[in-house]
Structure 1
């Protein structure tokens, strides 16, 4: 049977019509999906701004289902899970992104960084460390190193913290000299507790070479020299401290008085303490003077209360030296003053407000360095 060319006149229009119809259907579907996905996304964003986190998560999940290839929606959802403390779900979201073969290198590094943050938030520090180390050579390496620095501080891995801080400085992120000096002091304390005194002194020397005005290194070296019987050398360290970091000298005032007494330099020490007290009155300085001249401690405490009438700790100490009170009243009065003075003798972190009866160079609450003023609460 011969083919009739006239059939082409019928087939070609039909094929064209079917192609046009298919393209219109695809176009409508393409227009509808992006329109629905942003609508769900903006709905989730609005709920998030209104602190409705549970509903925002549902909206973001809906947006991801409508457009599973949208990377930013996955990151938004994972971040929201992490903020809510649902770290397992955040990990699954970011691991799903990492398993995608079509993800560009920058987005892959971003997903790796988000995954490391998930592990850190969950307290899985070993996995967080591995995830951050995997970011070497990527655009997120500086952020990863900063996070690793915090991680090493938390785990008291001072050697690695030192190396990481050096890398950050070399990259021009900022100066970490003070923190590195603290790391060396921590290593010195570890060496000293292990009986390696010479090594401990070497760490302190490195700290002072790195930060010559570092009060902690000067204080530790003075205390250790005094403990080892070298009062003259200890006195020199404490006098450097009062010159270079006068505010921190209060922490060493009692040790300074003992060193001066042992070195036969009591008069010189009293003069230094008087000069420092005239600049910034503090009970620690008065107590140091009383160690050298205990016979005048009542007069000095009374004078301190005249200058600092709000010093409950000073009043408590003066009351302990007074014997004229009736026996029926003295114990109750002393107990009341002890209770009232105790919270005012604590140290408070200037960064987060954490309070402690013990002075810390690094706040146990927020991990900030040098955030504790060297004065108790009542003297601030």
Structure 2
């Protein structure tokens, strides 16, 4: 009975001894691995940690020249070449890795993926596509498809992009915005080829993928207007109000053109004033001012911008008020007003730009697809607004 109760006291030192021996073996293994690495490897690592990429590359090139068996080092070197923009060297490094027979499956797939990224950076999209397509049948399938999606967008291969985006859908990202935009791209291609029926099919598919797609509604309005149906065009453009009223700014001028085509110029102006009153952030101040100037004259336009500034004070509104006041001011006041207007224009120039909510890229024209970060629907339709975030 005593033996069964206290056997663990006897065996405890044995367990400690076994653990000590295992630790010694692991330490010896680590020390052996460390000693097998060339000292220059750590020198290069130190350069990397200090942000001295160029010096690190020089060191690792020398190490790789004398230690060809260092696979991971060659991966690191290839990555550094690509980061520095030395794409030919990165491609050669990863091609050499792929040619090695001793690579295991994981290393070979990694080399393929790295080489595909080299080709993408170099603009060799067909070669990148071939490598990434092969990787779709491996454990790196999702990663490869994500890069393939980028390739197809660069090549404007929208049907392939739709197919890949549908394969990538999961709980974290359903790609509904991207798929809708790809259909809109196809619709614009059809419209440029004078194929309205095909364009309608694509735009309906876009709304099926994302019923909040303002671009699809905008293009449906364009199709209706091109067919001479101003009523349908107005209906499509006004439907954007239920999706996101800020996007009405992008079609406001076209809305007025449609009302003019119906011979109802005054109704169009009233609609514009109603929208601006209902949605104070709507970016149609300049258009409304132009409209009132053309229809009712300077006095009405001046009263409009004064009231607008009182109800919704903004720097662009102040700029417009001063510009209008300059037109009616006495001659002796104009020199000072011109200086103020110029200073205000300089100060508010940034507020006349469209901004990407993802990367901050700014542009004078509106983009559905950011030229800098390649995200979709990240530009705010309100100039100067930077708060819009990607879906």
2:235 is the counterpart of 1:231: no
1:280 offset after TM fit, Å?
Answer: 2.5
Which residue number in structure 1 is paired with residue 93 of structure 2? 93
Counterpart in the other structure of 1:22: none
Matched, 1:77 2:77: yes
Q: Does 1:333 align with 2:338?
A: yes
- Whether 2:315 is the aligned partner of 1:310: answer yes
Corresponding residue of 2:114: 114
Q: 1:217 and 1:283, CA in 2 relative to 1: closer, same or farther beyond 3 A?
A: closer
Using the alignment, how far apart are the partners of 2:98 and 2:82 within structure 1?
A: 17
Match of 1:245 in 2: 244
CA distance, structure 1, for counterparts of residue 130 and residue 386 of structure 2: 45
The whole-number CA distance in structure 1 between the counterparts of 2:158 and 2:234 is: 29
Q: Per-residue CA shift, 1:337-372, capped at 9, x if unaligned?
A: 795365532212222232221111111222221121
Q: 1:144 and 1:180 mapped to 2: Cα distance?
A: 18
In the alignment, the residues of structure 2 paired with residue 83 and residue 378 of structure 1 have an alpha-carbon distance, to the nearest angstrom, of 33
* 2:371 matches 1:372: no
* Partner of residue 26, structure 2: none
SS at match of 2:77: helix
2:368 to 361, 371, 374: 361
Determine the C-alpha separation between the residues in 2 that align with 1:377 and 1:51.
35
Supply the distance in 1 between the matched residues of 2:54 and 2:380 (Cα, whole angstroms): 42
Shift of residue 317 of structure 1?
A: 5.9
Match of 1:7 in 2: none
Point out the more displaced range, 338-347 or 205-214: 338-347
Match of 2:131 in 1: 131
Helix, strand or coil for the counterpart of 2:357? coil
**Contact conserved, 1:184 with 1:204, CA < 8 A, in 2?**
yes
Query: Are 2:91 and 2:115, in contact at CA under 8 Å, matched by a contact in 1?
Result: yes
TM-score w.r.t. structure 1 length? 0.79
Q: Is the CA contact 1:81–1:90 (under 8 Å) kept in the aligned structure 2?
A: yes
Mean alpha-carbon deviation: is it higher for 151-160 or for 59-68?
59-68
Distance 1:115 1:378, change over 3 A: closer
Q: Which residue of 2 aligns with 1:42?
A: 42
Alpha-carbon distance between aligned partners in 1 of 2:222 and 2:165, rounded to the nearest angstrom? 28
- Asked if 1 retains the 8 angstrom alpha-carbon contact of 2:276 and 2:284, the reply is no
User: Is 1:316–1:338's contact at 8 Å kept on the other side of the alignment?
Assistant: no
CA RMSD across the alignment: 3.3
Alpha-carbon separation, structure 2, partners of 1:339 and 1:272 = 25
Q: Structure 1 pair 163/327, CA: closer, same or farther in 2 (3 Å)? A: farther
Looking at structure 2, the residues matched to 58 and 379 of structure 1 have their Cα atoms a distance apart, in angstroms, of 42
CA–CA distance in structure 2, aligned partners of residues 133 and 239 of structure 1: 43
Deviations 1:167-221 (A, max 9, x none): 222x767311111111111111111111112211221111111111111111121
The number of residue pairs the alignment matches comes to 348
Shift of 1:141: 2.2
Task: Please show how residues 205-354 of structure 1 align to structure 2 within 5 Å.
Answer: 205-260=204-259, 262-263=261-262, 264=264, 267=267, 270=270, 273-274=273-274, 276-284=276-284, 287-288=287-288, 291=291, 294-295=295-296, 296-306=300-310, 307-311=312-316, 314-315=320-321, 318-319=324-325, 322-326=327-331, 329=334, 333=338, 336=342, 340=346, 343-354=350-361
Other-structure match for 2:160: 160
Task: Name the CA distance, whole Å, in 2 between partners of 1:283 and 1:319.
Answer: 21
Cα deviation, residue 114, structure 1: 0.8
CA contact (8 A) 2:187 2:203 kept: yes
| 1:15 alignment partner in structure 2 | none
